[in-house]
Chain A
Amino acid sequence: MSYMIKSLKVAIWFMFLTFPIIVIKVNTIENLVMWRWKNMFYMGVGVFFVSMLWRYLLERKERAGKSDVQDKKTITQTVMENPKILRIVVFSLLAILCIFPFVTDAYQINILTVALMYVVLGLGLNIVVGLAGLLDLGFVAFYAVGAYTYALLNHYFGLSFWLLLPVGGLMGAVFGVLLGFPVLRLRGDYLAIVTLGFGEIIRLVLENWNDFSMGPSGIANIDRPSFFGIDFSLEQSTIFIYFLMVLFTLFTIFFVNRLQNSRIGRAWLALREDEIACQAMGVGRTRTKLMAFALGATWAGLMGVVFAAKTTFINPASFTFLESAIILSVVVLGGMGSIPGVILGALIMILLPEYLRAFSEYRMLVFGGAMVVMMVFRPQGLVSNFRRKYSFHAEDERFGQ
C-alpha cells in the first residue's frame, strides 16, 4: 500500500514536472497556444506504473546484493562453453546470413548491411571501452577519417576501394595514436570529454574547411567497390557489399576474440581494473593504452571506407556526436566487453527501429532512457561478459596442500 501512495506521489510530481514541455505547445509566429491535457493524463498513468516497477526492481536488486552471489550459468554462457552447440548455432546463423540476400529485396539487404556495420563499429569501440575501460565519446571521428580518406583520394586521384581500404584503416590508427598520445594521462570523465571535443573538432574542420573537404555539401559520386574489374548493377553491388560486410564481421569477431585472450587483451583488462597495480606488474601503460586506441580506431577507419563506398556520398552531418552515442549505446546495451553482447546490441539498436516504424521516432528517447535504466539495474549489459574461472573443488584439495 505504501508502494501505491509513493508511486502516486511520484506520478503527481512528474505531471507537474513535465507540464510545460508536454502539455503546452506554443507557436510563436502565429501566436497560438495548444493545450494537450491528454498528454498529462498519459504521463501520470505511465509514471505511476513505471514507478511501481522501478521500486520493485530496486528492492529486488538490493536483495540480490545481500544474498550470496549465485553462480548461475546464463544461456549464452552454456552455449559458449559447449563447442558442439556453439558450432551448430554458428553454422545455422551463417547459413541464414548466406541465404538471406537471395530471398529478400534490396531494402532488407541494406538494413542488414548497416546493422553489420554497426556490429563491427561496436566491436571496435568495445576494444577501447569494454576491454581497456577508456570511455571514448569521439569514436565517430575515426569513422569520419576513414570515410574522408576514401572519398577524397578517390575523388582527386581515382584510387580504388581495395587500395584505400587498408589506407583508411591505417589513417584511423594514426589518428587514434594522435589522440591517444596526449591524453594518456587522463582517465574516466576527463578522457570522455577530451575525446568528445576531439570528435567535434574533426567534424567542425570537415564542415568549415571548404577547399579540402568541400564543406557541408559533402562529396558525391564515390566509387562503389569493384571485384576484379567486373561491372556490377546497383542490385548486384548491394549484394556484393552485403557479403563483404558478412566476411568483415566474421573476421572482426575472430580477430577481437583472439585479441581478448592474448597478452595485450589481458593487459587491457588489467589496466581497466587497476592502473597502478598494472604498472607495478610491469605492464607498460603507454603502449597498452595506445594499442587500444589505435586498434579501436582502425576498425572505425575501415568501416568509414566501407560506409563511403556503400552510400557513395558523405558529408559532415553523418559524423555527429549522436553517431558516437549510438555506437556507445550499442556497446553499453549489449554488454561491455562481451562479443555476443555487442552483436545483439547492434542488431537491437539498428534493426528494431527499422522494423517498428512507429517506434523509430522515439528511438533515441528510448535508448537514452535504456542507458540510464541499464546502468542502474544491469550495468553489465544484456549479455554479460564472463571470464574463465579456475577454482578448487573438494576432490582437488589434496593438490592444494
Chain B
Amino acid sequence: MEYFLELFLGGLTRGSIYALIALGYTMVYGIIQLINFAHGEIYMIGAFTALIFASVFSILGWPVAAIFIIATLAAVVYSSAYGYTIEKIAYKPLRNAPRLSPLISAIGMSLFLQNYVLLAQTSDFLPFPQLIPDFEFMEPISHIFSSAELAIVSTTIIVMLLLTFFIKFTNMGKAMRATAQDKTMALLIGINVDRVISVTFIIGSALAALGGVLIANHIGQVNFYIGFIAGIKAFTAAVLGGIGSIPGAVLGALILGWTESFATGYISSDYEDVFAFALLVLILIFRPAGLLGRSETKKV
C-alpha cells in the first residue's frame, strides 16, 4: 500500500510538471494551430537561467529564500523573453505560409537553441543547488513526499486557478478566446491579434520556466538536452487531454504522470520513456481529438 501511495504521489508530481509545460503547448496550439517544437527548449533555458542566477547569488552568500525568489523570477523573465523573441523570428513571418513551413522552422529553432546552450555553457550535467529546503510538514507522508514535490504540486494548482481566472474574466483572456475561435473575425472587431499571440507565447513560456525551476530543483541537475524529452512528454499530455483545451492539458498531464509512474514501478524502469511514446501513438491513432477535445470539423 505504501508503495502504491509512493507511486501515486510520484505520478502526481510528474503530472504537475508536465501540466505546467503542456499548458504552453496547448495555449499556443489553440491560438495559432502550431506545435511549438521549441517550447521544450524554453523550459530548458528557464532551468539554465535559474541555475546560473542561483549559482552567482549563492557565491555572493545570499540567503536561500532570496536566491530561490531571484532565480525563479529570472527564469520566468528570461524564458518569456525567449518565447516572445522566438515567435517574432521564427513564426510570425510564416503566418500565411503552408503548414509544413512553420513546423520545420520550429524544429530548426529547437535545434538552434539546444546547440546555443551547448556551445555557450556545457554538454555536461550540471548539479542544481537545492533551493527548497527539506522540511517535515506532515509526519506519515513527509518521507515519501518531499517539500520540493509539495511545492511542485501546489504551484501547479495555483497557476491553474490563476490561468483559468485570467482566461475567463480578463479582457486579454476574452481576446485570446476570440482569436482562438476565428483569427480574421477577431481582427475585424478590433482585437490586436499580434499582441494576443505574443501574450500567449509569453504566458506559456513563463509557465514552462516555472516548471523548469521546480523540476531542476527536484531532480538536482540540468543539461542542455532536458528540453527535448520534457517537450515531447508535455506534448503527449496536451494531445492526450485534447490539444487546445486547458483543463484537458492538466488532465492529460496527470494521466501521463500516473501511467509512467505506475508502469515504471510495476513493470520495468528501463522502458520509462517508451510508455509515454506508446501512449502518444495510441491516443493519436484511436482518439486524435484527445479526451476533452472537440473533434475538429474540416472547413472546406
A14 to B59, CA, bound (A): 26
Which chain B residues lie closer than 8 Å to A372 at the CB level?
89-90, 105, 108-109, 112
Q: Does A163 count as interface, using CB distance less than 8 angstroms?
A: no
**A325 x B56 contact (CB < 8 A):** no
Interface residues of B in 262-286 (CB under 8 A from A): 270-271, 273-274, 277-278, 280-281, 284-285
Q: Does B45 count as interface, using CB distance less than 8 angstroms?
A: yes
Q: Does B81 count as interface, using CB distance less than 8 angstroms?
A: yes
Interface string of A184-200 (1 = CB under 8 A from B): 01101110111011101
**A193 x B111 contact (CB < 8 A):** no
| Known pairs A17-B82, A193-B235; A201 contacts B228 (CB<8 A) | no
A33 to B277, CA, bound (A): 39
Segment among A20-28, A77-85, A114-122, A308-316 that sits at the interface with chain B: A20-28
- Band of interface residues on B: 35 or more
| Known pairs A21-B45, A28-B126, A186-B288; A375 contacts B59 (CB<8 A) | no
| Known pairs A205-B274, A376-B94, A379-B101; A371 contacts B107 (CB<8 A) | yes
A279 to B126, CA, bound (A): 53
A330 to B268, CA, bound (A): 37
Segment among B15-23, B113-121, B173-181 that sits at the interface with chain A: B113-121
A126 to B101, CA, bound (A): 15
Q: Does A183 count as interface, using CB distance less than 8 angstroms?
A: yes
**B111 x A368 contact (CB < 8 A):** yes
Which chain B residues lie closer than 8 Å to A332 at the CB level?
104
Main secondary structure of the interface of B (DSSP, over half): helix
A401 to B257, CA, bound (A): 68
Which chain B residues lie closer than 8 Å to A364 at the CB level?
111, 114-115
Q: Does A182 count as interface, using CB distance less than 8 angstroms?
A: yes
Q: Does A367 count as interface, using CB distance less than 8 angstroms?
A: yes
A179 to B211, CA, bound (A): 33
Interface string of A1-44 (1 = CB under 8 A from B): 00000000000011011101110111011010100000100000
**A375 x B104 contact (CB < 8 A):** yes
| Nearest CB in chain A: distance from B223 CB, A | 13
Q: Does B300 count as interface, using CB distance less than 8 angstroms?
A: yes
A371 to B288, CA, bound (A): 28
A130 to B183, CA, bound (A): 29
Which chain B residues lie closer than 8 Å to A362 at the CB level?
115, 119
Nearest CB in chain A to that of B286: its residue? A182
Q: Does A133 count as interface, using CB distance less than 8 angstroms?
A: yes
| Nearest CB in chain A: distance from B85 CB, A | 6
**B82 x A204 contact (CB < 8 A):** no
Q: Of A133, A185, A186, A365, which contacts B100 at CB under 8 A?
A: A133
Give the interface centre of A20, A200, A364, A372 by most chain B CB atoms within 10 Å.
A372
Interface string of A343-379 (1 = CB under 8 A from B): 0000000000000000001101101111110111001
A310 to B19, CA, bound (A): 45
- The A-B contact count (CB < 8 A) is 168
**A190 x B56 contact (CB < 8 A):** no
**B281 x A371 contact (CB < 8 A):** no
Segment among B46-54, B145-153, B184-192, B248-256 that sits at the interface with chain A: B46-54
| Nearest CB in chain A: distance from B99 CB, A | 5
Q: Of A186, A198, A328, A376, which contacts B107 at CB under 8 A?
A: A328
Nearest CB in chain B to that of A276: its residue? B300
How many residues on A have C-beta within 8 angstroms of the other chain's C-beta atoms? 58
**B281 x A182 contact (CB < 8 A):** yes
Q: Of B35, B59, B74, B270, which contacts A208 at CB under 8 A?
A: B270
Q: Does B239 count as interface, using CB distance less than 8 angstroms?
A: yes
Q: Does A321 count as interface, using CB distance less than 8 angstroms?
A: yes
| Nearest CB in chain B: distance from A59 CB, A | 12
**B111 x A371 contact (CB < 8 A):** yes
Q: Of A58, A189, A325, which contacts B35 at CB under 8 A?
A: A189
Q: Does A270 count as interface, using CB distance less than 8 angstroms?
A: no
**B127 x A369 contact (CB < 8 A):** no
Q: Of B34, B113, B126, B277, which contacts A201 at CB under 8 A?
A: B277
Q: Does A135 count as interface, using CB distance less than 8 angstroms?
A: yes
**B127 x A371 contact (CB < 8 A):** no
Q: Of A58, A200, A329, A365, which contacts B93 at CB under 8 A?
A: A58
Nearest CB in chain A to that of B229: its residue? A200
A26 to B239, CA, bound (A): 37
| Known pairs A33-B55, A208-B270; A20 contacts B119 (CB<8 A) | no
Which chain A residues lie closer than 8 Å to B89 at the CB level?
372
Q: Does B129 count as interface, using CB distance less than 8 angstroms?
A: yes
Interface residues of B in 110-163 (CB under 8 A from A): 110-117, 119-122, 126-129
Q: Does B78 count as interface, using CB distance less than 8 angstroms?
A: yes
Q: Does B232 count as interface, using CB distance less than 8 angstroms?
A: yes
| Nearest CB in chain A: distance from B69 CB, A | 16
Which chain B residues lie closer than 8 Å to A58 at the CB level?
93
A28 to B216, CA, bound (A): 14
17 contacts between A and B (CB under 8 A): A13-B85, A14-B85, A20-B49, A20-B74, A20-B78, A24-B52, A31-B58, A135-B103, A186-B288, A192-B35, A197-B280, A200-B273, A200-B277, A201-B278, A367-B108, A372-B108, A379-B98
- Taking A186-B288, A189-B35 as given, write out 7 further A-B residue pairs in contact, using a Cβ cutoff of 8 Å, ordered by the A residue number: A16-B81, A20-B48, A22-B120, A194-B281, A204-B271, A208-B271, A329-B108
8 tightest Cβ-Cβ pairs between the two chains A and B: A371-B108, A368-B111, A368-B112, A26-B55, A365-B115, A197-B277, A375-B105, A208-B270
